[in-house]
Amino acid sequence: MVSEGILLGMGNPLLDISAAVDEAFLQKYDVKLNNAILAEEKHLPMYEEMTGMDNVEYIAGGATQNSIKVAQWLLQVPGATSYMGCIGKDKFGGEMKKNAKLAGVNVHYCEDEVAPTGTCAVCVVGGERSLIANLSAANCYKFEHLKRPENWALVEKAKFIYIAGFFLTVSPESIQLVAEHAAKNNKVFTMNLSAPFICEFFKDAQEKALPYMDFVFGNETEARTFSRVHGWETDDIEEIALKISQWPKASGTYKRTTLITQGADPVVVAEDGKVKKFPVIPLPKEKLVDTNGAGDAFVGGFLSQLVQGNPIEECVRAGIYASNVIIQRSGCTYPEKPDFN
């Protein structure tokens, strides 16, 4: 039985501004395909330009929120999931609230009086995507918000916690508090490597959180960056996944499992000193719409089964199913009901 609030996510809520663009657009703004970065001054005009495009779509997103919404969709139990992050008091923030409520997620947003709701430019070229996040309000999450009784109650209620690595740039102290709570109370704490720049420039914060992680998610690019940053001198995904799974742990309640997705190649799962590989569902190129949210969807699908106590094979199968659904649609969106059995 899935209890209310069993899964909690914390992260950077962003409104995705998604549009199909061309190579020239990427070059104009110095953007690489298949990357995730934080916006700099030179990127700011692109948001305005994209909002003027005919094919632009607005989708409530942000990595953690995507995963939580996908888990909620697969669970089909209203309020099974909850989420915290910071938005602005503006039109986009209002959209975000409406969207999350419709999805059945119990959101407790921190609302910033000054900063606008964060946005993420999703540039889609031939199904592949590049993400440029302008955090704005998402960057203003306050540790004090987490400690308010009505919000801390979500932490106490949850038995599983998921935080994308992107949140390390915003509130590492919130992550630490929740991670320590999880270790002390035998809860499952999970995180994502999230982006190469997190592994490189937020290495210390990531290392501080790593001992608490019972499950670590990531993709092949992030895994290889993690390996390089730690001087492991290997590009072998299986070896890297194993090494991450064997990193010392703060709590002995659970072993650590590392899951690395590799696009169309098999998912690599490392635990107990062994590696297993799970092939993904093959998809003909013409059916691929947009890879944005594929990794987030994998995590959401995986967590939807994990919270039900299902074996790892089932969790991975649900993750693969969810990402297969998402890449055939624009943005991290899904049909009304899942047909996962």
How many other CB atoms are found less than 10 A from the CB of residue 207?
12
The rounded distance, in Å, linking the Cα atoms of 145 and 126 is 41
Q: pLDDT tier at 332 (50, 70, 90 boundaries)?
A: confident
First to last CA, the chain: 17
Contact 88, 111 (CB under 8 A): yes
Residues identified as active-site:
296
CATH topology assigned to domain 7-12+62-117+135-326: UDP-N-acetylmuramoyl-L-alanine:D-glutamate ligase (3.40.1190)
The dihedral of CA 196, 202, 208, 213: what is its sign?
Answer: negative
pLDDT at 183: 97
Query: Can you give the pTM of this predicted structure?
Result: 0.93
DSSP for 173-226, please give it. Answer: HHHHHHHHHHHHTT-EEEEE---HHHHHHTHHHHHHHGGG-SEEEEEHHHHHHH
Q: What is the pLDDT of residue 87?
A: 97
250 within 8 A of 182, measured Cβ to Cβ? no
Please state which of the ranges 158-162, 206-210, 291-295 shows the lowest mean pLDDT. Answer: 291-295
Q: What residue segments make up the domains of the chain, in order of their start?
A: 7-12+62-117+135-326
pLDDT of residue 1: 79
Q: What is the pLDDT of residue 290?
A: 73
- Sequence-separated (6 or more) residues with CB below 8 Å from residue 176: 208, 209
Q: Across residues 259-266, what is the average pLDDT? A: 95
147-202 pLDDT tens trace: 999 999 999 999 999 999 999 999 999 999 999 999 999 999 999 999 999 999 99
How crowded is residue 27: how many other Cβ atoms within 10 Å of its Cβ? Answer: 9
